[in-house]
Structure 1
Amino acid sequence: MVGRNAFRHPSGRVVRPVLNTATAKVYLVDLATAQRLEAGVAEGDDARLAQSGLLVEVDHDEAAEVIEASRVAARDRRTRDFVVMPSAYCNMGCGYCGQTHERVTVSRDHRAALAERVARAARGGRYDTLNVRWFGGEPLMGYAVLLDLSRRFTAAADEAGVGYAAKIVTNGSLLDARKLRALHRDARISSVEVTLDGPAEVHDASRPLKSGAGSFHKIIGVIGAALRDPELDGLHFTVRTNIGVHNAALAEPFAAELAAAGLAHDRVACYPAPVHSWGNDVSDVAVPRADLAAAEMAWFLAYQRHGLRFRLLPAAPRRVVCAATSRHSEVVGADGRVYSCTEQSLVPGHRDEDLGHVGSLAADELRPPGAFDDWYDTLDAGATACRGCAILPVCGGACPKLWREGKPPCPSLRDNVRDRLDLYALTAGYTPVG
C-alpha cells in the first residue's frame, strides 16, 4: 500500500510512504520506486524490494501463506487467554448497547471451578503466560469477585512459574484512586480501557448512568490523577470512543478536553471505533460506511493537534484475530457459562450458544470447539472477501461473527490506509511536496 503524496525529508530527499501489510512495516521510498510498486512493475535491480517483501513473484499465493501462519498461531499458542465477566450487570444505559444486563455475579462454586481451570492451565507446562481480560457488563460491578479471582489466578501463575498479564475493559464510572491501586497492585492489572463518547455533554447523553448522572468529568479526573500517582506508574490507559452520528464531528473539542485534563501522556492511548451491531439495530446511530474513513482521519488529526497518543498504523500482523478463533481462549460469563466469543454472553439471540459450564467442563482441557474455530479454513476457502484483500495480514478478517451474520465488518483502514500513510510521514517530520 502506497501513500497518496510525496514528502521531503529535511535532508532534501523526496519520498512516499509504503506499508507492507505482511509485516506491518512502513518504508519511505523514492518516487520512482513508489510508482513501480503501485503499478506492480519489477525491474532487474529489485532484489532489495523482494527481500523486504514489497515485491513477490506473480504466482506466489501470499494469502495462503498469511492464512496458514494464522492457523498455526491459533493452534499452537503459548498464551492461555481467559475473558472473565465478574458481573452481568452494568450501571450505564447506553442506547446503542446490544447487551441485556442482570444483577448476577460469579457464585462461590463457579469461582472455585474457574480458579481451578486457570490453575490447571498454569501448571500444565503448555503455556508461558496466562492472559486475563476483565469484561462485562461492567466488571467493576463485581469488584470483590474480581479481586478474589485475581488473588487465586496470580497465585497459580506464580506457583507454576508462568507469566501473568491482566487488562480491564470498564466504563470507568466506578474507578477511584483506591480501586486503581488495588487493581494494579493486587490484581496485577497493567492496562485499563475506558470508553468516552465525546465532550462531556455528549458523552453523558450517549452513555448515561442508570441513575441519570453523568460520568465524563469524574472519569477524566480519575485518569489524570492516576497519571500523577507514583504508585500507578506502571498502569496504562486506553480511551476508546464509539463513533456514531452523534459525535463523529466532535473530535476537536473532545481531544482538547482530554489534553486539558492532562491525558496527553505517554501512558494514555486513544482510538476511535465505529458503533456496530451486537445483534441489535444501530442503524440510527452508526456512521454510514461511505463517511466512516474520513471521520476516522478527522479524529486522528485532532489527536495529533492536541498531543494525544494514538496508533495510526498496525504495529504487527494480526495472527489470531480474536478469542473466538482459538481454543486456547475462552469467555466465562457471570453465570458460569463458557463461550468462545465476547458477543454471545448477555446478547439476546446468542446467550444459548455457550459451550458448557465452568463447573462441568474438565478443568485440564481446552474449551469445547466453538462456532468460529474453523475461521482460517473459512478464509482460505474464499467464503468472505478477505482472501484477496491487501490488508488481510493486519486485519485478520476483523469479526467472524459479523461475517457469518452477513454484515461485512471491514475496518476503515481498508479505505483510508493511504491517508494514514501520509499522516505517518507528516508525524515523522517530513514536509509535503507540492
Structure 2
Amino acid sequence: MSLRPSRYTVVGDTVLRHPAGHLVRAVLHTATARVHLVDLDTAARLDTAATGHDPGAAQTAHDGRLAAAGLLVDDSRDEAAEVLEAGRRAARDQGVRDFVVMPSGYCNMGCDYCGQRHERTVVTRDHRSALAERVDRAARSGRYNRIGVRWFGGEPLMAFAVLRDLSQRFVASTAAAGIGYDAKVVTNGTLLDARKLRALHLQCRVSTIEVTLDGPAEAHDVTRPMKNGHGSFRQITAVIAAALAVEELSGLRFVIRSNVGTGNAGLAEPFAAALADAGLAHDRVGCYPAPVHPWGNDVTAVALSQAESAAAEIEWFAAYQRHGLRFSLLPSRPRPVVCAAVTRHSEVIAPDGRIYSCTEQPLVPVHADAPVGQVGVLDADALRPPGAFDDWFEAVAAGETGCRDCTILPLCGGACPKLWREGTPPCPSLRTNVRRRLDLFAIAAGYTPVPPRHLSISSA
C-alpha cells in the first residue's frame, strides 16, 4: 500500500520547542479537527502545501501511527468524496430536529450593516398552535433523540411572551416523548434582565445566549444604535456579569459575537479590556469575531477584504488571550452539515408563519419569494419541503464552488451556500490564517517558538 499525506493536513509554519527540549511543528488534521505535534522531518514530509507529494518518499517506523491518525492515507483514496458522503449521511440521518423560530419581526436597534427589514408582526394563536403541533409531532415521531430550538429575529425578546409560551409547549412535548431538548437565544441583549434570564434558563430551558457587541462602548453604541438613541454596551455587559454570579443560572452560557468591519477592526485591544473590566473573563463566556457580510444588502463600505479579515481575526484572538477571555483558536470538531439550509431536518419559521430553509432569508426584502411552506398549511408530520440548497453536497462534488479541493472543507462545510450562489465567495478567515492559528494554539499549550536564526544551533 502506497501512503501519501492526507489532503486535510495543515502544518504550522513555526518551529517549536517541546517542553522536553526537542523541536516539533504543529499539524492540524482538518478531517478530525485534531492537532498533533511531530518532529521536523515528519512535518516536512506532511507539508504538501510547501513541498508537494513525493510518491517515492521513504517510509518510516512512524507510518503506522501517522496512518492511524489520518495524517497518511492510501494513495488511491478520494478523501473529498468521503467527506461529502459523510455530510450527506449526516444531513439525511441526523437524530436532532432543529427549529429556528423567529417570534418577532421587529428590532429595537438600527445597525448600519443589517439587511433585514423590521416590522411589527403579530404571531397569531393559530400560528403558535400549528408550530407547537409541528414540534410535538417531531418529538413523538420516534426518529429523533433531541429537539433543538434557536430563537432568532429581528429581536426575539421583543416577543418574550410568545417565546415563553411556545417554550413551555416544546418542553412539555419533548418530556412526554422522553427525548432531549435544548434551546439557544440569539439576541442583541438590550432587553435582558435578571427576571428574563431566570425564566429563559429555568423555564424555557435555554442553555446558551448569544449577544452581539461590536467593540467598546464608544464603538458599539455607534454601529449598533438603539432606535431610541440610547447606548447599550454598559447595560448589556452589566446584566451578563450579574448573571454569572447567580447560582441558579450556573448552567447558562453566554457567547459574545462581534461583527468586525472597517470601523472596528482595530479596536480588539480596548474591546477585550472592556469585557475583562466588566467581569466577562469567565469560563461561561465565550467570544468570537465574525466578518460583516451582506444579507441581500450592500456592505462594501464597511466590509473587510478576506485578507484584512484574516489579519484582524488574529489580532482579536491575541487581544482575547491577553485579557483572559475564553475563545477557540481552532474548531473543536468537523462540520459535516454546514447549516440549516442543507438538511430538511432543520427549518426556519418566520414571524408570519412562513417556513424557510435559510436563516438569512426571512425579513430580507430580496428574498420575499424564498419560503418553502407555511406553518399550519404544511402537514404537521412532514419535513420541511425541499429548499434551494438541499443539493449542496452534489453541487460541491460537481465543482460548483472551490470547496471540494479545499484543505479546510471538513471544518468549514462550504461556509454559506446562499452566498456562494449569490456570487460572493464566503470563505472563512480560517482558510487564510489557519497556519497562524495553529501556531498560536501550540504556543498557548506551552510550546516555545524557536527563531529561525537559532535553528541550526538548536538542532546541533
Q: Give the TM-score category using the shorter length.
A: over 0.9
**2:143 aligned with 1:126:** yes
Matches within 5 A, 1:177-192: 177-192=194-209
**2:44 aligned with 1:44:** no
**2:36 aligned with 1:21:** no
Instruction: Describe the superposition over 1:268-287 as per-residue Cα deviations: whole angstroms up to 9, x where unpaired.
Output: 00000000001100000001
- Report SS of the residue matched to 2:147: strand
Q: Whole-Å Cα distance in 2 between the matches of residues 13 and 68 of structure 1?
A: 40
Q: Whole-Å Cα distance in 2 between the matches of residues 289 and 78 of structure 1?
A: 35
- Report SS of the residue matched to 1:272: strand
**Aligned residue type for 1:2:** V
1:174 Cα offset (Å): 0.4
Which runs of structure 1 show a deviation greater than 3 angstroms over 4 or more consecutive aligned residues?
Answer: 39-42
| 1:92 corresponds to | 109
| 1:385 corresponds to | 402
Q: Which runs of 5+ in 1 are unaligned?
A: none
| 1:326 corresponds to | 343
Contact 1:105 1:142 in 2 (8 A): no
Q: Whole-Å Cα distance in 1 between the matches of residues 393 and 420 of structure 2?
A: 13
**Aligned residue type for 1:140:** L
Contact 2:307 2:432 in 1 (8 A): no
| 2:420 corresponds to | 403
**2:245 aligned with 1:245:** no
| 1:228 corresponds to | 245
| 2:43 corresponds to | 34
- Report SS of the residue matched to 1:131: strand
Q: Whole-Å Cα distance in 2 between the matches of residues 219 and 6 of structure 1?
A: 42
Q: Which runs of 5+ in 2 are unaligned?
A: 1-9, 452-460
- Report SS of the residue matched to 2:365: coil
| Residue 309 of structure 1, aligned match among 320, 326, 342 | 326
- Report SS of the residue matched to 2:115: coil
| 2:6 corresponds to | none
**Aligned residue type for 1:19:** L
1:335 Cα offset (Å): 0.3
- Report SS of the residue matched to 2:259: strand
**2:296 aligned with 1:279:** yes
**2:355 aligned with 1:338:** yes
| 1:142 corresponds to | 159
Q: Whole-Å Cα distance in 1 between the matches of residues 279 and 12 of structure 2?
A: 33
Q: Whole-Å Cα distance in 1 between the matches of residues 17 and 244 of structure 2?
A: 37
Matches within 5 A, 1:192-271: 192-271=209-288
Answer with 58-67 or 358-367: which moved more.
58-67
Instruction: Describe the superposition over 1:396-424 as per-residue Cα deviations: whole angstroms up to 9, x where unpaired.
Output: 00000000101000001000000001100
Instruction: Describe the superposition over 1:290-328 as per-residue Cα deviations: whole angstroms up to 9, x where unpaired.
Output: 211111000000000000000110111101100000000
Which has the larger Rg? 2
Contact 2:329 2:437 in 1 (8 A): yes
Q: Whole-Å Cα distance in 2 between the matches of residues 248 and 334 of structure 1?
A: 33
| Residue 376 of structure 1, aligned match among 393, 408, 411 | 393
Contact 1:82 1:332 in 2 (8 A): yes
TM-score computed with the length of structure 2 as normaliser: 0.93
**Aligned residue type for 1:138:** E
1:57 Cα offset (Å): 2.6
**Aligned residue type for 1:294:** A
| 1:6 corresponds to | 15
Contact 2:15 2:24 in 1 (8 A): yes
| 2:4 corresponds to | none
Cα RMSD, aligned residues only: 0.8
Q: Whole-Å Cα distance in 2 between the matches of residues 309 and 18 of structure 1?
A: 23
| 2:309 corresponds to | 292
Answer with 100-109 or 409-418: which moved more.
100-109
Contact 2:341 2:387 in 1 (8 A): yes
Q: Whole-Å Cα distance in 2 between the matches of residues 51 and 432 of structure 1?
A: 28
Q: Whole-Å Cα distance in 1 between the matches of residues 122 and 332 of structure 2?
A: 36
1:16 Cα offset (Å): 0.7
| 1:81 corresponds to | 98
1:352 Cα offset (Å): 1.9
**2:123 aligned with 1:114:** no
Q: Whole-Å Cα distance in 2 between the matches of residues 129 and 10 of structure 1?
A: 43
1:47 Cα offset (Å): 2.1
**Aligned residue type for 2:58:** E
Instruction: Describe the superposition over 1:322-374 as per-residue Cα deviations: whole angstroms up to 9, x where unpaired.
Output: 00000000000000000000011101110221011101000011011100001
Instruction: Describe the superposition over 1:59-106 as per-residue Cα deviations: whole angstroms up to 9, x where unpaired.
Output: 321100000000000000100000000000000000000000001132
| 1:58 corresponds to | 75
1:193 Cα offset (Å): 0.2
- Report SS of the residue matched to 2:129: helix
1:49 Cα offset (Å): 1.1
Answer with 264-273 or 5-14: which moved more.
5-14
Q: Whole-Å Cα distance in 1 between the matches of residues 149 and 58 of structure 2?
A: 49
Contact 1:200 1:216 in 2 (8 A): yes
Q: How many residues align?
A: 434
Matches within 5 A, 1:360-375: 360-375=377-392
| 2:368 corresponds to | 351
Contact 1:338 1:355 in 2 (8 A): yes
Contact 1:19 1:25 in 2 (8 A): yes
Answer with 9-18 or 360-369: which moved more.
9-18
**2:188 aligned with 1:165:** no
Contact 1:105 1:145 in 2 (8 A): no
Q: Whole-Å Cα distance in 2 between the matches of residues 112 and 421 of structure 1?
A: 48
1:13 Cα offset (Å): 2.1
